[in-house]
Amino acid sequence: MTATTDGSTGATLKPLAAAASETTDITIPAAAAGVPEAAARATRRATDFLLSLQDAQGWWKGDLETNVTMDAEDLLLRQFLGIQDEETTRAAALFIRGEQREDGTWATFYGGPGELSATIEAYVALRLAGDAPDAPHMAKASEWIRSRGGIAASRVFTRIWLALFGWWKWDDLPELPPELIYFPTWVPLNIYDFGCWARQTIVPLTVVSAKRPVRPAPFPLDELHTDPARPGPPRPLAPATSWDGVFQRLDKALHAYRKVAPRRLRRAAMNTAARWIIERQENDGCWGGIQPPAVYSVIALYLLGYDLEHPVMRAGLESLDRFAVWREDGARMIEACQSPVWDTCLATIALADAGVPEDHPQLVKAADWMLGEQIVRPGDWSVKRPGLPPGGWAFEFHNDNYPDIDDTAEVVLALRRVRHHDPERVEKAIGRGVRWNLGMQSKNGAWGAFDVDNTSAFPNRLPFCDFGEVIDPPSADVTAHVVEMLAVEGLAHDPRTRRGIEWLLAAQEPDGSWFGRWGVNYVYGTGSVVPALTAAGLPASHPAIRRAVTWLESVQNGDGGWGEDLRSYRYVREWSGRGASTASQTAWALMALLAAGERESRAVERGVEWLAATQREDGSWDEPYFTGTGFPWDFSINYHLYRQVFPLTALGRYVHGEPFAEKSRAARTTAGQTSTETSTAEAKGS
């Protein structure tokens, strides 16, 4: 893969790049010198820069940066399978060393505190790469690890990796029986009670837990224990009257069951799990388009006798290589997943809202690519919705089993902004997407990301599940994107849309903000909800909108931007809406304020000034801070394209107003045979 200017991967679009010159002719509304002029200039430069990043096939994709556990576990996997090579090990170690902080630790997000499990995994990976334990950077890390309780205090997943090499005892890990695969959907803790990302990881790990493999450790890790002679379990039993106590005792019972489990039943369960895994392997060899399930699936199948040359294994290992981003300095970073559909629909929206003509060749190319990515076969979501026809979009290049509601809503919004040469094809695709999203509404009126009513309280209680969010309940940001899309499709007054709006109004925080599940955090939630509510017809004078505006104004930074640290997920009062200004978060706040009719406000002017002043000469923005999440707090993401698409969207809406919103409102009030009514009719027929 080649690296683009902002660190994204893929070939830049040369043949169509010349068409970018059209953007310099975008008509900017006449305005006095000052903020509007600076905004127009920044919009032109950002438009040209974003157009230059498009791949020849029509998609955009920025790097998806997480933390060094991805890189460490990749090296541990290669050590376990015996496929490590010198170049990969050297490049991975170079990246991991570069991420170490001055205090010897590794964090899980930029500027965050040292994190124990990440530091342990990074340390072990560097030892595999040949770094000596008495080297200054290693000694500093091991001292910090011991001061925080050592390996015994780390998360379960870290100790599973160490158990693979005998650095931790399997008996001191939570039990995860493969017989779980047989639980019907009405039984608590069946695999469909877990969010799709956890489900894809847990099924292969039931095989690993049953097999308990141990490879000879290449060195001891005594320096990471507070007492090497007695590492022991990490914590005592909780009271039997507490939920934690109940599930800890359940785990003890499962350990006892392991000793008496019928061999034929266990063998059959593991084989069933293997079939489940193989059936969900994607065409490119990955699982769910994300790295962790692929890693554990490869290990599970290997333990069940699939050799490395088996087609399933070979494809799986090849898919893992595609998560690697090679940097100019020779370092190798592993992405947890890749986000081309998400990046492409957001880029399309940004360019259209910035004034790029709706029939611009690059927008049409993007629409073509998105149309080809629609998923038209059932996936795991159909377990809860067996009669619902498919029609969603996934986040990644290859992930037909797990389309998501958020991407589907945003792709529809993007397609509506493009004048395509085959409008009938677009209408059919949009109709399928709208119908699928409506069918994925949860019973409380809101929407989760991947599944319907994935809200069981039990999975999060399992001792095994200490690695982050394992369920997929409805969230304000996803619900807002669906509501906005439905409003654009003429369904603002549909009872299903109104239920979503009612849920959003009830979910508003007392201070006027909304919680952001998939972006950081209250700024993201508020930046998503306010445009949705106004698109659905709520006036800017509505009390909920006014409270949101007041909150956004109250958390604006002194420099004019907005920012929010990931610590707001853990320490709400201190960090809600607080943090260093970033391009993406400033844009989210501006998008909300503009939707609320605040274009002439000083808060908006200062936000626009900040974006214009911090833009680089090439039209891009720098953003080291992490503003996305996989699991709030536990797994943070820096989407490298966020710093480009969202500022451009906000600036475009400031410069041009919101022509698309106005156009969609006009379409909703126009009687007759509009294309919007076509998809509306299809949706109502669902």
Contacts for 229 with CB less than 8 Å, ≥ 6 apart: none
pLDDT for 234 equals 59
* Last residue of one domain, picked from the residues 278, 312, 334: 334
Q: What's the rounded Cα separation, in Å, for the pair 489 and 679?
A: 7
Please report the sign of the dihedral spanned by the C-alpha atoms of residue 517, residue 521, residue 524, residue 529.
Answer: positive
| pLDDT tens digit sequence for 552-577 | 999 999 999 999 999 999 998 899 99
For residues 544 and 568, membership in a common domain is answered with yes
| Alpha-carbon distances, residue 86 vs 30, 78, 137, 320, 330 (angstroms) | 60, 11, 21, 17, 13
Please provide the size of the chain in residues: 686
Contact predicate 610/581, CB 8 Å: yes
For residues 59 and 74, membership in a common domain is answered with no
For residues 326 and 355, membership in a common domain is answered with no
Q: What's the rounded Cα separation, in Å, for the pair 659 and 352?
A: 10
| Alpha-carbon distances, residue 518 vs 61, 449, 480, 505 (angstroms) | 18, 9, 12, 19
Q: Which domain holds residue 280?
A: 67-224+236-334
Contacts for 210 with CB less than 8 Å, ≥ 6 apart: 177, 178, 258, 266, 269, 270
Could you tell me if residue 494 is inside a domain? yes
Q: How far apart are the first and last CA of the chain?
A: 42
Tokens (6 digits) for 35? 């903020």
Could you tell me if residue 117 is inside a domain? yes
Where the chain has pLDDT below 70, the residues are 1-33, 232-235, 659-686
Contact predicate 3/9, CB 8 Å: yes
Catalytic residue status for 466: no
* Last residue of one domain, picked from the residues 334, 350, 377: 334
Could you tell me if residue 447 is inside a domain? yes
Could you tell me if residue 468 is inside a domain? no
Tokens (6 digits) for 167? 């650095």
pTM here is 0.91
Could you tell me if residue 3 is inside a domain? no
Residue 349 sits in a domain whose CATH number is: 1.50.10.20
For residues 327 and 349, membership in a common domain is answered with no
Among 641, 516, 539, 661, residue whose Cα is nearest residue 589: 516
Could you tell me if residue 464 is inside a domain? no
Q: What are phi and psi of 404, to 5 degrees?
A: -125, 155
Q: What's the rounded Cα separation, in Å, for the pair 308 and 677?
A: 53
Q: What's the rounded Cα separation, in Å, for the pair 609 and 279?
A: 52
Pairing between β-strand 628-631 and β-strand 64-65 as defined by DSSP bridges: unpaired
Could you tell me if residue 77 is inside a domain? yes
Q: Which of 343, 406, 407, 565 is catalytic?
A: 406
pLDDT for 104 equals 97
Could you tell me if residue 165 is inside a domain? yes
For residues 306 and 419, membership in a common domain is answered with no
Identity of residue 17? A
* Last residue of one domain, picked from the residues 290, 308, 334: 334
For residues 50 and 73, membership in a common domain is answered with no
Among 618, 614, 638, residue whose Cα is nearest residue 626: 638
For residues 39 and 77, membership in a common domain is answered with no
For residues 302 and 400, membership in a common domain is answered with no
For residues 347 and 321, membership in a common domain is answered with no
For residues 484 and 594, membership in a common domain is answered with yes
Q: With H, G, I as helix, E, B as strand and everything else as coil, classify residue 348.
A: helix
Identity of residue 260? V
Number of domains in the chain: 2
For residues 321 and 347, membership in a common domain is answered with no
492-518 exposure pattern, b = at least 16 Cβ within 10 A, e = fewer: bebebbbbbbebbeebbbebbbbbbbb
For residues 97 and 58, membership in a common domain is answered with no
Angle at 625 between CA 619 and CA 629, to 5 degrees: 115
